Structure 1
Amino acid sequence: MGDRIYTRREVSDLPAAAAVEPSHHVVLVGSTGIDVDPTRNHELAADYDSERRMQGPSLFSSDGAWAHLQVLGVHGQDRVNYPTERERDHWAGCMRRTLAGFWTGGPLVVLGDMNANPFHDEITGREGLYALRKKDGVGISRKVSNEKTHSVSLYNPMWSLLVDGGGEAPGTYYFHRRTRTELLWHCIDQIIVSAHLEPRLVGRPRVCTSLMGDTDIPLLNAEGVPLRVDDKPVYSDHLPVQIPIDIKKVESCRISAMP
């Protein structure tokens, strides 16, 4: 799509943008042609998330071509300071409850630094975001274990980056100190969509290996590793990710969270 939604690490590359600053954890930015729906009280969204790591506005196009697109920004709890199964389960439940309180059932984008790969339980499980591969079922409502609530499965296109040769970069985050895992590359920065938007994705997600401007600024060195100086990232320790969505073809709709 011509209009894009940016995460915090992309803000410095924008010549002009209107930022929504909900907290120090998450920033959502709308480009020209995208406005925040004034009829929804977005300040209340912070109350859904006890960790203050999620925030979402409802958006519409200035030309009236589309409306009621909801975008939820996430900055997941990291796996170094919160590594235990109990802590991961707590964060998964936090994401699910926030999503349930925010999402009205129409077209939805969930994006940000998840601090989890697409295959981790807090991303795939019904007790978390319930974001799956297309072949695993999208838009399906399932009961949450030991609860009376239900989760509706989302579509996670980031799985396409996990295959060998999946893109210019093998992931969005390079863990250069292999102390806690054998994996070097991780796909923890993700763009996840509801079933309404899955058919409207234009191609696969792309991990950006340079910042585009008057001249392209590389983010990787000659070995294909994110640039670092004195063991610190030059720009960021993450690579940006993007995927085009043809939202002008998406009709406003509602789905039920119950079967």
Structure 2
Amino acid sequence: MYFFISQLSISDILMTTNIVPNLLHVLLKNGKFVTFFGCFTQFYFFGASEIIECLLLTVMSYDRYVAICNPLHYTSIMTSGVCVALTAMCWLLGFFVSFILTITPTKLYFCGPNIIDHLFCDIVPLLKIACSDTFIVRLQIEILGAPAVVITTTIIVVSYTHIVRAVLKISSSTGRQKVFSTCSSHLMVVSIFYGSLFSVYILPTRGQPSTINKILSLLYTVFTPLINPIIYSLRNNDIKKAIHGTIYKR
């Protein structure tokens, strides 16, 4: 669990270092000039960190499923080698898929004012200012993005369905609370991340003010990386004990 949390933290750091410095500059200066290469570089790392976080949250849900539904076989199933292999797969797939999604938009023709009405370089505002046909780009996003979202969401839902069934079979309320507390932090993080992600990219946004889209985009680019360590720290007894010991030693 701690290994996967550390990988999730690295993904969050990648997201914040890629988005927040430029975001603060845009807000303080009421806009910012960005080069063509710099914009698509930001989009590449943004897409990679988003995909990696989706995959890591999915792997973590499977890890919680094995820990709760098959506790006696947990150490033999989730070995260190398996954990490293799953994590490596998440990072490699994230960078590879993001690379494919970034290459095609770079071949579009941009003309006119080239003003991106957004807080960072995202695919939706980029396609709005493109002068050439964006059908191929949109088709590519649907082919690669839709299955990824559906597959990861399905795995998470199935995993937690089995977890809830296992928890309900426990006779004592204390036992149920203890078991559920091991995955409550992850469930909160998944709900916040996927909720904000679905609200921006999945739900219809036609006629929705651009300000609303900007605020929603802040949820998964700034708020989620900020709240993740807080949630895991407050819900984890080991971390609370370590913080308590550090404070009182001083």
Same fold (TM > 0.5):
no
Flag the structure with higher strand content: 1
* Structure number with larger C-alpha Rg: 2
Report the TM-score when normalising by structure 1. 0.27
Bigger proportion of residues as helix: 2
TM-score, length-scaled by structure 2? 0.27
| Greater RCO, 1 or 2 (C-alpha within 8 Å, sep 6+) | 2
